[in-house]
């Protein structure tokens, strides 16, 4: 493992075992490796008998899971994780929930007292420190909720053995919170570590990744690896991206060609930064006019736009169904984007997403005109796809329930595909995101309203009846219904 990373992780472990400070904040710019450190740290904490990893929460806006972007979900999740490892705490937590079943729905300032501090009162604490890890706080949607969480953690009356490790970018709302106080908390700012040390870490990382190839495949040199490490400018996301791109399937000669492409591309596009240069190279290769016709390029841009604006994790199959395209065609588009898009091995497994949020920012804001995309392209495609799926699949007793007088069984969910779930729960969101010039009035009148009760059945099976009411209130489709 790279030297600086070893030193940083060792620092964390020493703090967890003996430092009196209750909060350790790891701050770093985007792409500097905070999450990789947090993941490794969790593994080390789990293996260390002198420390109890109480629980971990990884915030993420690219995962398209609302709970992972909601700061209000963090403390309830950590409390459940701790209960799974500490039987006496589990019993105390269960007793508390029996008297206050809505504790997890309380404001964040009260959650920590109800879900962690109160259950710990009166029970024998473990002999070792309890450490909670919360990664990427800056990825949460509501800045005010994050500030409330940090205030609650900083002022909580939990026993002295409870500690928190937090990672985030040094965003203003986080930096202005109590965790930035060096008098009360330990702080490490990754972006202030000596550049030479970070560059050496990245060189070791790239060299290690390349060394997994057969020894007789001499398709790279030490000097080329050193150049790549220097051009990364301290961004581990750059290093991981180029490794993924270069080591994609192919012969040693093919990898050699990709390596040369990377080196030359970074030289000629240094003005826009190494990460943007990497993104531009991957997209230019995927959308090369010599190998891809105009229609395929447009299809790829639509796919990228959809992945960026989805509101829930989709599988390859579900996205193909929403876009009404053969799954083989979609898979081919995604295959060319392997270095920047995470594609689950199983076509039915949710999790289609960009590897890093910065890729979405690049596509939307800084990419060349030929490959730049707009959110509206994805919202329009998904709005049409949702209506298309509902037109195809909504029908009487769509969930195959045994009776309308009995509660829905868990097995009824098996009769509703992921694409239909997404269509029923998200169609209004995509319609509302579009400009007034893009209207779906006629499609909504022809497709949605005749199937309204079938849609409501799906929402009921999903436990989303209250959301269904909010969806109807928040959109003007009721006006369309009234006119007809």
Residue 225 has pLDDT above 50, yes or no: yes
What CATH fold (topology level) applies to the domain 294-373?
Arc Repressor Mutant, subunit A (1.10.10)
Looking at per-residue pLDDT, the higher value among 83 and 174 belongs to 83
Specify the pLDDT at position 274.
67
Q: What is the mean pLDDT of residues 378-397?
A: 95
Domain spanning 3-192: which superfamily? P-loop containing nucleotide triphosphate hydrolases (3.40.50.300)
**Residue tagged 């169609």 (tokens):** 427
**Residue tagged 């319609």 (tokens):** 431
Q: Identify the CA nearest to 312 among candidates 279, 345, 352, 277.
A: 352
User: Domain spans of the chain?
Assistant: 3-192, 195-286, 294-373, 390-483
Q: What is the mean pLDDT of residues 472-476?
A: 74
Query: pLDDT-derived band of residue 45, with 50, 70 and 90 as boundaries?
Result: very high
| Rounded Cα distance, 310 and 468, in Å | 18
Specify the pLDDT at position 270.
42
- Which residues have CB under 8 Å from 443's CB, separation 6+? 384, 387
Specify the pLDDT at position 137.
93
In this structure, are residues 234 and 199 in contact, taking their beta carbons and an 8 Å threshold?
yes
Q: What is the mean pLDDT of residues 3-18?
A: 83
What are 240-285's pLDDT values in tens digits? 888 888 887 778 888 888 888 888 876 555 435 667 877 888 888 7
Query: pLDDT-derived band of residue 182, with 50, 70 and 90 as boundaries?
Result: confident
Query: pLDDT-derived band of residue 479, with 50, 70 and 90 as boundaries?
Result: very low
Is pTM beyond 0.75? Reply is no
Residue 408 has pLDDT above 80, yes or no: no
Specify the pLDDT at position 481.
45
User: Which uninterrupted H or E stretch holds 58?
Assistant: strand 52-58
User: How far, in whole angstroms, is CA 428 from its chain's centroid?
Assistant: 23
Q: What is the mean pLDDT of residues 416-426?
A: 96
First to last CA, the chain: 67
**Of the spans 89-93, 369-373, 467-471, which averages the highest pLDDT?**
89-93
What are 312-361's pLDDT values in tens digits? 889 999 999 999 999 988 988 888 887 788 888 889 999 898 877 778 88
Specify the pLDDT at position 273.
65
What are 200-210's pLDDT values in tens digits? 989 988 988 88
Specify the pLDDT at position 410.
63
| Rounded Cα distance, 325 and 480, in Å | 30
Angle, helix 34-47 to helix 3-18, in steps of 10 degrees: 50
Does the fold of domain 294-373 match that of domain 3-192? no
Specify the pLDDT at position 151.
92
Looking at per-residue pLDDT, the higher value among 183 and 446 belongs to 446
Looking at per-residue pLDDT, the higher value among 244 and 379 belongs to 379
Residue 370 has pLDDT above 80, yes or no: yes
Residue 307 has pLDDT above 60, yes or no: yes
């Amino acid at each position: 493992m790279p030297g600086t990373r070893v030193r940083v992780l060792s620092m964390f472990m020493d703090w967890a075992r003996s430092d009196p400070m209750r909060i350790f904040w790891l701050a770093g710019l985007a792409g500097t490796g905070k999450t990789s450190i947090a993941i490794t740290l969790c593994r080390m904490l789990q293996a260390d008998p002198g420390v109890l990893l109480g629980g971990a929460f990884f915030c993420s806006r690219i995962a398209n899971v609302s709970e992972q972007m909601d700061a209000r979900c963090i403390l309830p999740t950590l409390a459940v994780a701790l209960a799974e490892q500490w039987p006496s705490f589990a019993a105390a937590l269960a007793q508390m929930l029996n008297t206050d079943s809505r504790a997890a729905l309380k404001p964040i300032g009260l959650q920590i007292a109800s879900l962690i501090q109160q259950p710990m009162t009166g029970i024998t604490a473990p002999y070792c420190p309890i450490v909670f890890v919360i990664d990427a706080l800056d990825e949460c949607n509501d800045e005010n909720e994050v500030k409330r969480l940090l205030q609650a953690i900083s002022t909580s009356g939990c026993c002295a053995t409870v500690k928190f490790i937090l990672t985030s970018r040094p965003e203003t709302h986080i930096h202005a919170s109590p965790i930035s106080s060096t008098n009360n908390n330990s702080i490490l700012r990754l972006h202030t570590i000596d550049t030479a040390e970070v560059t050496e870490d990245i060189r070791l990382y790239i060299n290690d990744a390349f060394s997994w190839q057969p020894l007789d495949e001499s398709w790279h040199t030490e000097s080329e690896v050193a150049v790549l490490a220097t051009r990364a400018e301290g961004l581990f996301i750059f290093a991981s991206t180029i490794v993924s791109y270069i080591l994609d399937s192919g012969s040693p000669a093919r990898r050699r060609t990709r390596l040369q492409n990377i080196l030359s591309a970074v030289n000629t596009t240094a003005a826009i930064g190494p990460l943007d240069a990497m993104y531009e190279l991957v997209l230019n290769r995927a959308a090369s006019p010599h190998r891809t016709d105009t229609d395929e390029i447009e299809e790829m841009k639509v796919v990228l736009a959809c992945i960026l604006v989805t509101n829930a994790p989709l599988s390859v199959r579900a996205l193909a169904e929403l876009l009404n395209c053969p799954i083989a065609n979609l898979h081919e588009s995604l295959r060319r984007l392997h270095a920047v898009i995470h594609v689950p091995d199983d076509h039915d497994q949710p999790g289609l997403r960009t590897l890093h949020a910065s890729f979405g920012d690049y596509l939307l804001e800084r990419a060349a005109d030929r490959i730049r995309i707009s959110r509206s392209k994805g919202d329009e495609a998904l709005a049409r796809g949702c209506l298309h799926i509902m037109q195809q699949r909504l029908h009487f007793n769509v969930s195959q329930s045994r009776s309308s007088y009995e509660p829905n069984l868990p097995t009824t969910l098996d009769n509703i595909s992921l694409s239909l779930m997404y269509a029923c729960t998200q169609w209004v969101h995509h319609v509302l995101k579009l400009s007034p010039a893009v209207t779906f009035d006629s499609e909504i009148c022809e497709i949605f309203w005749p199937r309204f009760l079938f849609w409501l059945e799906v929402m009921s099976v999903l436990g989303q009846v209250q959301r269904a009411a909010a969806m109807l209130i928040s959109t003007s489709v009721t006006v369309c219904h009234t006119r007809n």
